RNA sequence: GGCGGCAUAGCCAAGUGGUAAGGCAGCGGUCUGCAAAACCGUUACACACCGGUUCGAAUCCGGUUGCCGCCUCCA
């Protein structure tokens, strides 16, 4: 199936053609590790996790690189505040990043390079730029000269003249042009630094990505991603550095994800509305967060709100309920899904999902296919009679396989239904501050009342539970409950 | 000021030059001791507004309004 990708560079959806047939090299800008990850970081990481999963599902051999920026001004400032070394601080937040992203079911990248571990690559790249006349030393710093790179601005669609007209950058005397950016920054006493041909210092922000992407993917590769805010200046500068140094096209497809807003407001420290992943994981099932992040197209903004999360949770429950329903029907029949009955609807599911995902990774559309399938299977089960036929069981096994296959790509439906609902209950109890034993005692009591057909008492207990925000559901095999 | 994006039902959100996916919520029904869940049915004076192109546009073009992002560290 033809994969289309919207390319920020051309502002068009293009047919994806890898440089080497069957292989894809992808580099995504990771986080600067000076603070906890927020939901915006999570979106970017989850989106590119799904993109790489999907590329692999299509059969590509993917080399996925996602970096950590572990040295820069913010890290230095923050480390000073915390009384830690920059190394200690960045380690702490890298560990936290992994805790958060593991919980969200994000797979590790193939390479996760850190800037501080690639100083020599960075230095040799800067030297190369210097040799080509694209970089100059000024004071204790080394800058990239944007005027020496005629295509500067091609990614973000800006022209130097235009930008200069509305310049808001304070003029830096060290720079020849206000848009020149630092490649190597001389260090002040007490700052972390490395030896270099220009004296002790540290790399500028942009150069690490040029140096590390080249090391792991070569000077030219297929896909480069990141948040949309990175388009300018970061990615623009990466292009200038890499194409300036190697004189060939750096990246074929640029992918940028949109932002997360909180109740329609931009998330920012000054508004005090940033939501950390760690905090959110206490309130929501990780897969609900993940499904929420994938429910809009990756390039559109997505608004986080209690309401939107509640909707997403209900939607996710619906899929797990179906899986639960299927499992309790088929039991451990050990049916081999290879001997599948003809079912035209189920036969088309995979293709429809692929069509959605191949259209610029349209997860929202793909999720619609998932729910269509859920409805189909629920309807199918409604029509089942009490005599279990092999044919029916096989159809359900097939259906479940298709659901789980979609789940594999989106990174959801990773749990057994029973585990999922149990985890949700625990999160709910935690939020509501209720003991599990209390709930179970009341349900047992109600079961007794129901047994002797004391409906008044049974309903009274149900109301009591409802007051605690516990909702119950009587099934043939017993009563189940959840936190509302 | 420059560049770009978005405006679809109560809410969230896809999509297409030929007359609107999916989710949530609501209502009616089946089911249930009653509920819940699930399913069935139902819910858009037609897709911000005004022009234009077209046999036909919400989908293409131009303009207007509103919202947002980037241009400074930022996913």
A82-121 residues near strand B (Cβ < 7 Å)? none
- Tell me what pLDDT residue A336 has: 62
Q: What is the pLDDT of residues A354-390, one digit of tens each?
A: 999 999 999 999 999 999 999 999 989 888 877 778 8
Query: What are the φ/ψ torsions at residue A483 (nearest 5 degrees)?
Result: -90, 130
Instruction: Please list, in sequence order, all residues whose beta carbon lies within 8 angstroms of the beta carbon of residue A419, skipping any fewer than 6 positions away.
Output: none
Say how far A289 CA is from B38 C1', in Å: 25
Which nucleotide's C1' sits nearest to the alpha carbon of A30? B75
Residue nearest to nucleotide B37 (CA to C1'): A473
Q: Which residue is nearest to nucleotide B38 (CA to C1')?
A: A378
pLDDT tens per residue, range A147-206: 999 999 999 888 887 777 655 555 677 888 888 999 999 999 989 999 999 999 999 999
* Strand B contact nucleotides, protein CB < 7 Å: 1-6, 11-15, 21-25, 32-40, 68-75
Q: Which of residues 52-81 of A touch strand B (CB under 7 A)?
A: 74
pLDDT of residue A146: 93
Facing residues of A473 across strands? A480
Rounded to the nearest 5°, which phi and psi values hold at A301? -70, 155
User: Of A114-123, A196-205, A312-321, A461-470, which gets the smallest average pLDDT?
Assistant: A461-470
* A17-27: average pLDDT: 96
- pLDDT tens digits, residue range A265-313? 888 776 677 899 999 999 999 999 999 999 999 999 999 998 899 999 9
Whether CB of A451 is under 7 Å from strand B: the answer is no
Q: Find and give the residue nearest to B67, measured CA to C1'.
A: A264
pLDDT one-digit tens code per residue, A33-87: 999 999 999 999 999 999 999 999 999 999 999 999 999 999 999 999 999 999 9
Q: Which residue has the higher pLDDT, A483 or A407?
A: A407
Nucleotide nearest A167, CA–C1', reads: B71
Report ipTM for this prediction. Answer: 0.92
Q: Which residue is the nearest neighbor of B72, CA to C1'?
A: A169
pLDDT tens figures, A391-446: 888 889 889 999 999 999 999 999 999 899 998 888 888 888 889 999 999 999 99
Say what the pLDDT of residue A227 is.
93
Distance A289 CA to B15 C1' (A): 25
- Please report which helix (H) or strand (E) contains residue A380, including its range: helix A363-382
Q: What is the pLDDT of residue A340?
A: 61
Provide the CA A323 to C1' B12 distance, Å, integer: 24
Give, in Å, how far the C1' of B20 lies from the CA of A365: 15
Q: Which helix (H) or strand (E) holds A66?
A: strand A61-66
Å from the A255 CA to the B54 C1': 35
The pLDDT value recorded for residue A20 is: 97
Is strand B within 7 Å of residue A380 (CB)?
no
Which distant-in-sequence residues (6+ apart) come within 8 Å of A394 by Cβ? A335, A337, A339, A340, A341
Look at strands A265-266 and A260-262 and give their pairing.
Answer: antiparallel
pLDDT at residue A327, rounded to an integer:
87
CA quadruple A317, A323, A328, A331: dihedral, nearest 10 = -160
pLDDT tens for each residue of A346-361: 888 999 999 999 999 9
In the structure, how far is the CA atom of residue A392 from the C1' atom of nucleotide B58, in angstroms? 42
A:129-188 Cβ neighbours of strand B under 7 Å = 156-159, 162-163, 165-169, 179
Q: Which residues 221-240 on A are within 7 A of strand B at the CB atom?
A: 226-234
Distance, angstroms, CA A104 to C1' B63?
Answer: 46
Give residue A173's pLDDT: 73
What is the predicted pLDDT for the residue at A10?
87
By DSSP bridging, strand A221-227 and strand A251-257 are parallel
User: What per-residue confidence (pLDDT) applies to A410?
Assistant: 96
Neighbours of A218 (CB within 10 A): 13
Sign of CA dihedral A333, A338, A342, A343: positive
Distance B28 C1' – A137 CA (angstroms): 77
- In the predicted structure, residue A16 carries a pLDDT above the cut 60: yes
Cβ A450 to strand B below 7 Å: yes
CA of A150 to C1' of B66 (A): 38
């Amino acid at each position: 199936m033809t994969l289309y990708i919207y390319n920020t560079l051309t502002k068009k959806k293009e047919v994806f053609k890898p440089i080497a047939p069957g292989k894809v090299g992808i580099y995504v800008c990771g986080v600067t590790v000076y603070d906890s990850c927020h939901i915006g970081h999570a979106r970017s990481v989850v989106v590119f996790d799904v993109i790489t999963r999907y590329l692999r599902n299509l059969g590509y051999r993917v080399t996925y690189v996602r970096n950590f920026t572990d040295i820069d001004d913010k890290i230095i400032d923050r480390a000073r505040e915390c009384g830690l070394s920059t190394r200690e601080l960045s380690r702490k937040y890298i560990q936290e990043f992994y805790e958060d992203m593991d919980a969200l079911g994000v797979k590790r990248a193939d390479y996760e390079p850190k800037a501080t571990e690639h100083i020599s690559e960075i230095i040799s790249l800067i030297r190369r730029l210097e040799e080509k006349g694209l970089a100059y030393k000024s004071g204790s710093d080394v800058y990239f000269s944007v005027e020496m790179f005629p295509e500067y601005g091609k990614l973000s669609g800006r022209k130097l003249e235009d930008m200069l007209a509305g310049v808001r950058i304070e003029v830096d005397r060290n720079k020849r042009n206000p848009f020149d950016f630092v490649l190597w920054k001389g260090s002040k006493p007490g700052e972390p630094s490395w030896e270099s041909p220009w004296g002790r210092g540290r790399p500028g922000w942009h150069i690490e990505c040029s140096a590390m992407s080249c090391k792991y993917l070569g000077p030219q590769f297929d896909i480069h991603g990141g948040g949309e805010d990175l388009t300018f200046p970061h990615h623009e500068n990466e292009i200038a550095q890499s194409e300036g140094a190697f004189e060939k096209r750096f990246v074929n497809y640029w992918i940028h994800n949109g932002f997360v807003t909180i109740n329609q407001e931009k998330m920012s420290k000054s508004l005090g509305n940033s939501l950390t992943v760690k905090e959110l994981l206490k309130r929501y099932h990780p897969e609900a967060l993940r499904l929420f992040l994938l429910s809009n197209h990756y390039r559109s903004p997505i608004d986080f709100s209690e309401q939107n999360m509640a909707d997403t949770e209900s939607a996710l429950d619906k899929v797990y309920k179906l899986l639960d329903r299927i499992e309790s029907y088929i039991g451990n029949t050990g049916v081999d899904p290879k001997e599948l009955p003809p079912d035209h609807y189920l036969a088309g599911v995979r293709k429809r999902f692929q069509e959605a995902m191949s259209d610029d990774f349209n997860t929202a559309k793909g999720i619609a296919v998932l729910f269509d399938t859920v409805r189909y299977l629920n309807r199918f089960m409604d029509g089942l009679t009490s005599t279990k036929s092999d044919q029916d069981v096989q159809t359900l096994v097939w259906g479940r396989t298709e659901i789980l296959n979609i789940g594999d790509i989106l990174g959801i439906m990773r749990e057994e239904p029973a585990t999922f609902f149990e985890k949700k209950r625990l999160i709910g109890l935690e939020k509501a501050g209720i003991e599990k034993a209390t709930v179970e005692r009341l349900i047992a009591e109600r079961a007794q009342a129901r047994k002797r057909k004391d409906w008044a008492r049974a309903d009274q207990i149900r109301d009591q539970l409802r007051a605690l925000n516990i909702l119950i559901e009587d099934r043939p095999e017993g009563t189940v409950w959840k936190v509302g």
